[in-house]
């Protein structure tokens, strides 16, 4: 009887902890906001989050799904994301540009509304449209090229020791770091992935250069994390 009770307790504990596991989803959409005069305002985040933006599924370009507190590079800067205690917003913590393990102390925290489409402005004409949400199970869209980071045994079993994944919807026109003259699209098949770069603000018919990469699994590359490539088409 005692054994049965402890078993039930164990099962319950596992259930509760799996319910409590929350993933943070960061979706980046085609820029759809208005950034005019955003630079006038003191805080670009607060101001920009109020500018009208629409996150339409068809405009989804790329995204990240991460566990809480995992150090990753977001918009070229080492960053961690956690969910607030009450679960009503996400805290984005930024670290020094050279602090690739997020060990050197937080430089800036930003609170981000959950399930609210917003624009983060780079200048008067350019920005990024984001939707942050929390999820109790690991979801990611199809038609994507994904790079997945996981810990532990480098056996491809990434779902059990998951850190984060980053995906690009294939054949969409992305703007790199809001520099309008640097646009690119991503494609993949079971053996390769490739990035095509274009001149100008839209991805014209002919890319100026296309670089291919083999689909690989990298073991223990950076701070013992494993990376796996996945063409999810």
User: Cβ(185)–Cβ(203) under 8 Å?
Assistant: yes
- Closest contact distance (angstroms) between CB of 210 and ligand NAG is 9
Minimum CB distance to ligand NAG smaller for 37 or for 204: 37
- Asked whether position 189 contacts ligand NAG by CB under 6 A, the answer is yes
Residues 8-37 that bind ligand NAG (CB under 6 A): 36-37
Of the candidate residues 2, 4, 190, 206, the single one contacting ligand NAG (CB under 6 A)? 190
By rule CB under 6 A, what count of residues binds ligand NAG?
7
Using alpha carbons, list the distances in angstroms from residue 2 to 12, 16, 90: 15, 21, 42
| Spatial CA neighbour of 21 closest among 63, 85, 68, 69 | 68
Question: What tokens were used for 18?
Answer: 């799996």
Neighbours of 17 (CB within 10 A): 9
Minimum CB distance to ligand NAG smaller for 134 or for 232: 232
Applying CB under 6 A, the span of 45-53, 64-72, 74-82, 188-196 interacting with ligand NAG comes to: 188-196
Strand partners, 78: 73
- Asked whether position 191 contacts ligand NAG by CB under 6 A, the answer is yes
User: Cβ(53)–Cβ(32) under 8 Å?
Assistant: yes
- Asked whether position 41 contacts ligand NAG by CB under 6 A, the answer is no
What order do you get walking across the sheet with 60-67 strand by strand? 118-121, 127-135, 23-29, 60-67, 162-169, 144-150, 225-232, 217-222
Minimum CB distance to ligand NAG smaller for 75 or for 189: 189
- Asked whether position 139 contacts ligand NAG by CB under 6 A, the answer is no
- Closest contact distance (angstroms) between CB of 151 and ligand NAG is 30
Minimum CB distance to ligand NAG smaller for 157 or for 189: 189
Of the candidate residues 44, 151, 192, 218, the single one contacting ligand NAG (CB under 6 A)? 192
- Closest contact distance (angstroms) between CB of 176 and ligand NAG is 22
Between CA 82 and CA 89 the distance in angstroms is 9
Applying CB under 6 A, the span of 5-13, 75-83, 133-141, 185-193 interacting with ligand NAG comes to: 185-193
Neighbours of 95 (CB within 10 A): 20
| Spatial CA neighbour of 144 closest among 219, 60, 67 | 60
Binding site for ligand NAG (CB under 6 A): 36-37, 189-192, 212
């Amino acid at each position: 009887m005692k054994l049965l009770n402890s078993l039930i307790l164990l099962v319950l504990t596992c259930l509760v902890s799996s319910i409590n596991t929350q993933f943070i989803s960061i979706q980046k959409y085609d820029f759809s906001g208005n950034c005019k005069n955003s630079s006038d305002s003191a805080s670009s985040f607060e101001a920009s989050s109020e500018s009208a933006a629409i996150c339409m599924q068809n405009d989804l370009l790329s995204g990240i799904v991460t566990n809480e507190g995992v150090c990753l590079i977001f918009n070229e800067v080492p960053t961690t994301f956690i969910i607030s205690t009450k679960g009503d917003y996400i805290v984005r913590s930024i670290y020094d540009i050279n602090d690739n393990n997020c060990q050197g102390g937080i430089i800036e925290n930003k609170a981000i509304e959950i399930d609210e489409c917003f624009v983060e402005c780079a200048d008067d004409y350019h920005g990024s449209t984001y939707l942050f949400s929390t999820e109790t199970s690991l979801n990611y869209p199809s038609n994507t090229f994904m790079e997945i980071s996981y810990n532990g045994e480098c056996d491809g079993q990434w779902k059990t020791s998951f850190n984060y994944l980053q995906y690009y919807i294939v054949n969409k026109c992305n703007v790199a770091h809001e520099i309008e003259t640097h646009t690119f699209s991503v494609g993949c098949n079971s053996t390769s992935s490739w990035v095509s770069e274009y001149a100008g603000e839209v991805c014209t018919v002919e890319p100026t250069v296309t670089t291919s990469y083999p689909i690989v699994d990298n073991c223990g590359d950076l701070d013992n994390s494993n990376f796996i490539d996945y063409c999810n088409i």
